[in-house]
Amino acid sequence: MKSTDTIRYGIVGSGMMAIEHIANIALTPGAVVTALADPVAASLDRAAAAVGAEVSRFGDAAALAASGLCDAVVVASPNFTHAEVLRPLMAAQLHILCEKPLATTLGDARAVADAAAGYGPVFWTGMEYRFMPPVAEFVREVHAGAIGTLRMLSIREHRFPFLVKVNDWNRFSANTGGTMVEKCCHFFDLMRLIIGAEPVRVFCSGAMDVNHQDERYDGKKPDIIDNSYTVVDFASGSRAMLDLSMFADGAEQQEEIAATGDAARLQVFIPEGDLIFSPRVGFMNPKKVSRRHVETDAAALSAGQHHGATFFQHQAFTAAVRGEGPVLVTADDGLRAVAMGLAAEISAREHRVVTMAELGL
């Protein structure tokens, strides 16, 4: 595809995340949404209104793929549909940005990653948190050696409960892969990216203690974790921890990440956007803490709920589609994030350490 060609986007799934993608594609030069696919007419109506122009509508991904109206497709359908939805899109040789998680089972995630390994067009796993400007700057500084050798990584997300979806499909682990897959694959992906090594073992203590207690669906109670602590040991000797609460919507900062090395500590806060650098000074010596703010484009901030990340991800994705940049988040990255989440789900359920070797990774 030439740099001057307009990229015609299709969107599969037309819920809240699809509408965020539509808003950010509208901000992306040389990109336009031409087609939507979803079996729910009311959802299609909302997404079509968000496009704000004539757009073709289809009942499923196969019909969209066969239409010839798209060059690239964003898969934003429910988690449990990804493996099925991707087949006709890949058969049509479309460029694909597949929202996280790649799939809900290890078998499906591995099958997608295997298919993507020999795929000619771009296959990109949607991991927005990598593209938040303050987080991207945090990662750059850690990789540049600002803290010395990284030994400890801590990630905290204290946020609101899962939102309402069509038929509340996200209330059950069978549909989502479990909270540690659905929500936390973002953070397991960040761990791998920041540490630059592969996980060896995972221990997670978590449960559903507050949210969804009174909800019933066909007589069944939701089964998704709403709070957890997860510790991950990496092959490099570094370790990471994730602290998750899905009932902390009053928290000042939704995300806090801290990397501690043998020379210094670096933190980043979202939505504040500040980085705090704290070098080691020795016992009883004055601290030398410095703080700086990382600005995020106002239009990007207003186009979604991920601190501008969806906008910057689309800039990188379209560059890859045009052959002007690399694929930054591969299907293999998506597979490994799913595997870490599934290891955490097993660990929380069985109250034991789970090795990644048990999952074949």
Q: pLDDT tens, 330-345? A: 999 999 999 999 999 9
Do 176 and 293 share a structural domain?
yes
Class of residue 140 by CB neighbours under 10 A (exposed 0-12, middle 13-18, buried 19+): exposed
Asked if the model's pLDDT at residue 76 lies above 80, the reply is yes
The residue length of the chain stands at 361
Q: What percent of the chain has pLDDT over 70?
A: 99
Instruction: Provide the pLDDT for residue 4.
Output: 72
Instruction: Provide the pLDDT for residue 2.
Output: 66
Do 166 and 21 share a structural domain?
no
Asked if the model's pLDDT at residue 284 lies above 70, the reply is yes
Domain with 225 in it: 130-298+332-359
Rounded-to-integer distance, Cα 121 and Cα 361, Å: 26
pTM of the model: 0.96
Do 152 and 91 share a structural domain?
no
Instruction: Provide the pLDDT for residue 358.
Output: 97
Asked if the model's pLDDT at residue 167 lies above 90, the reply is no
Q: Say if 309 falls within a structural domain.
A: no
Do 254 and 156 share a structural domain?
yes
Instruction: Provide the pLDDT for residue 331.
Output: 98
Q: Say if 235 falls within a structural domain.
A: yes
Q: Say if 285 falls within a structural domain.
A: yes
Do 290 and 202 share a structural domain?
yes
Name the residue among 330, 336, 304 with its Cα closest to residue 97.
330
- What distances in angstroms separate CA 4 from CA 35, 74, 87, 326, one per listed residue? 21, 21, 29, 18
Instruction: Provide the pLDDT for residue 354.
Output: 98
pLDDT band at 165 (very low <50, low <70, confident <90, very high): confident
Beta bridge pairs of residue 72: 9, 95
Q: Say if 336 falls within a structural domain.
A: yes
Contact indicator for 253, 230 with CB cutoff of 8 Å = no
Instruction: Provide the pLDDT for residue 166.
Output: 85
Q: Say if 237 falls within a structural domain.
A: yes
Do 273 and 145 share a structural domain?
yes
Do 52 and 191 share a structural domain?
no
Structural domain count, the chain: 2
Beta bridge pairs of residue 255: 157, 270
pLDDT band at 123 (very low <50, low <70, confident <90, very high): very high
Check which CATH number belongs to the domain holding 11 and give it: 3.40.50.720
Do 105 and 79 share a structural domain?
yes
Do 184 and 75 share a structural domain?
no
- The mean pLDDT value of the chain amounts to 96
Do 192 and 75 share a structural domain?
no
Instruction: Provide the pLDDT for residue 45.
Output: 96
Q: Say if 313 falls within a structural domain.
A: no
Asked if the model's pLDDT at residue 164 lies above 90, the reply is no
The 10s digit of each residue's pLDDT in 196-214 is 999 999 999 999 999 999 9
Do 180 and 137 share a structural domain?
yes
Do 323 and 344 share a structural domain?
no
The 10s digit of each residue's pLDDT in 219-259 is 999 999 999 999 999 999 999 999 999 999 999 999 999 99
Q: Say if 192 falls within a structural domain.
A: yes
Average pLDDT over residues 336-356: 98
Q: Say if 305 falls within a structural domain.
A: no
